[in-house]
Chain A
Amino acid sequence: MRAVIEVDKLKKVFQSIVAVDGISFEVKEGEIFGFLGPNGAGKSTTIKILCTLLRPTSGRALLAGFDVVREPDTVRRSIGIVFQENSLDDRLTAAENLYLHGLLYGLPRRLLKQRMEEVLEMVDLAARQKDLVRNFSGGMRRRLEIARGLLHHPRILFLDEPTIGLDPQTRKAIWEYIHGLRREKNITIFMTTHYMEEAENCDRIAIIDHGRIQALDTPANLKQRLGGDVLIVTPADGADLAPLIAARYGLEPQPVEEGLRLQVADGAAFILQLAADFRGRIKSISLRRPTLDDVFLSLTGRAIREEKVSAADRMHLSPRGHLRRRH
């Protein structure tokens, strides 16, 4: 199958900061492709380049076969975008927001009306279409934005942190829509996220850090590649077990919030040995299968923690928070 997104040695430098450092990848038609990484990893910069909002310093990107630098208008017609921040006019109704979008993309009036009904139905907002967006919940707004992004039947839908700030239930609902979309329209979805559970929904994930792709594979393969089990060892108070464990088993314990994180081939057998060797110096040991978080940790030496990222997001958002429109 032909790739619908082709990125070749893409690079973006802001003054002296290298935001995207020569990344290359391809996304196939109908694929749900995720960019996973902490804030500042280069996710948003990449998405902006692909959406023609930023010019790359060097390298090339083709969307649906069109060059983002040379044919921005054709690229724009082929894509739909759901931004990280709200981009609806909350003083207008849901239907009006969609209508304006249709006008911008030059949809003939009758077709536009028909498409509006179609997308509103899809995101379950048909009954609320005459309501002002300011009265909508976060989840409803997001759904409306997804609906709007689809109105002109793009081949690729970009979702920049589509479920940020939403409760788990809404998050789940939005994912159901996304999967439904792919099933029904064979639309390609390119998304960024820093939620691990969310990345599990993707067909393939690129783990990005410091502007580089550290790994690119299916979630299952990424986890499998890591191999074995993950143990979290909580030492008894005051015990510094890291150097001892490192010396005795030749492992590299990584300090995590709960204690030490170990990666071993056979977790069940290792627990017994560990408990015998460090009797009395261990408070608890837990065993689990590797998650994407573990994959990320092993690739970058750092964890993506939701709470850290959301704190950073709050800082990022708060200076604008007080800017309310006056009337």
Chain B
Amino acid sequence: MEAALRAIYTVWYRETLRLLREKTRLIGMIGQPLLYLLVVGQGISAAMGFRGVPAEIPLNYVQFMYPGVLAMSVLFTSVFSGISIIWDREFGFLKEVLVAPVPRWATALGKVLGGSTVAMAQACILLCLAPIARVPLDLLMVLKLLGILLLISLALTSFGVAIASHMQTMEGFQMIMNFLVMPLFFLSGAMFPLHSAPPWMAFLMRLDPLTYGVDALRGVIYAGADPRVTAFLVRYDLVTNLSVLLLVTAALVALGTWSFSRQD
């Protein structure tokens, strides 16, 4: 057990060290979510308004989208971090860890925690940008949001590690992006609400675990808002959302560590 903790800590520490070493990477990482928030969000909202919303409800599209962008940035960073275990395996560091007297599952878990740390650092920066989206937050809300984002990030980094365990090279990467990661994002309700989607899509959206994450984020952000806003934006109650998230996270962490420890 002591060896396992050592491995978890070492792999996590290395990930954090690299993050601190490359501060530009952090800034680079928030470029994409910022682009979505400022350009895509403003653009869509200017061109089409926010048609789903009843006329008397004071809510613009960027406000609606903000929790989705939080989830998106965590989604991409987490999956990338998880998959980057392939680079580690091909180009170095991991080789060294794999011959150390430590269990493999612990190595995978360290990678998951490291990837989540990076994703959370990014999430913190985005939370600071909430005023730009005119989303009012207080400290308690921030803590709750971070908790939900951490669950999402643990689940998705593990998902990345699981994928990486079945990939030998980066060649399948584009496939994974197009057929797994992008659909997870688009079907999560980050960009458009669940209730105005056509039935077939609404069905798929209910299958997407990220839907419950995004919904939980909106639930926290709009907890004190006009009940009509809450009714319009939030689909499930927090307990349902958290239960689904917890289950999915536990399953994916188990899958990720298991996949990684059984590969040759």
Contact = CB atoms under 8 A, between A and B. Distances in A.
B244 to A, nearest CB: 33
B6 A87 contact: no
Contact of B95 (A52, A83, A96, A103): A83
Contacts of B25: 327
A88 B93 contact: yes
Contact of A89 (B6, B90, B92, B99): B92
Nearest to A325: B87
A103 B169 contact: no
B97 interface: yes
Interface string B9-28: 11001100110011011001
A185 to B, nearest CB: 20
B99 A91 contact: no
A226 interface: no
A325 B14 CA distance: 16
Interface in A83-132: 83, 85-92, 96, 100-101, 103-106
A85 to B, nearest CB: 8
A110 B161 CA distance: 34
B99 A81 contact: yes
A279 interface: no
13 contacts: A52-B99, A76-B99, A77-B101, A79-B99, A86-B91, A88-B92, A89-B93, A104-B7, A104-B10, A104-B100, A105-B101, A320-B169, A325-B87
Given A100-B10, A106-B6, A91 B100 contact: no
A51 B100 contact: no
Interface of A: 51-54, 72-74, 76-77, 79, 81, 83, 85-92, 96, 100-101, 103-106, 148, 319-320, 323, 325, 327
The A interface is mostly helix, strand or loop, or mixed, namely: loop
A20 to B, nearest CB: 16
Given A53-B98, A92-B18, A103 B10 contact: yes
A51 B95 CA distance: 12
A77 B100 CA distance: 7
Interface residues of B, number: 32
B9 A103 contact: yes
Contact of A320 (B2, B3, B90, B100): B90
Interface of B: 2-3, 6-7, 9-10, 13-14, 17-18, 21-22, 24-25, 28, 84, 87, 90-93, 95-102, 169-170, 264
B95 A104 contact: no
Contacts of B22: 91, 327
B11 to A, nearest CB: 9
A73 B106 CA distance: 14
A91 B14 CA distance: 10
Contacts of A89: 14, 18, 92-93
B21 A104 contact: no
A312 B52 CA distance: 62
Contacts of B98: 53
A103 B101 contact: no
Contact of B92 (A73, A76, A87, A105): A87
Contact of A86 (B10, B87, B92): B92
A78 to B, nearest CB: 9
Contacts of B9: 103
Contacts of B92: 85-90
A77 B101 CA distance: 6
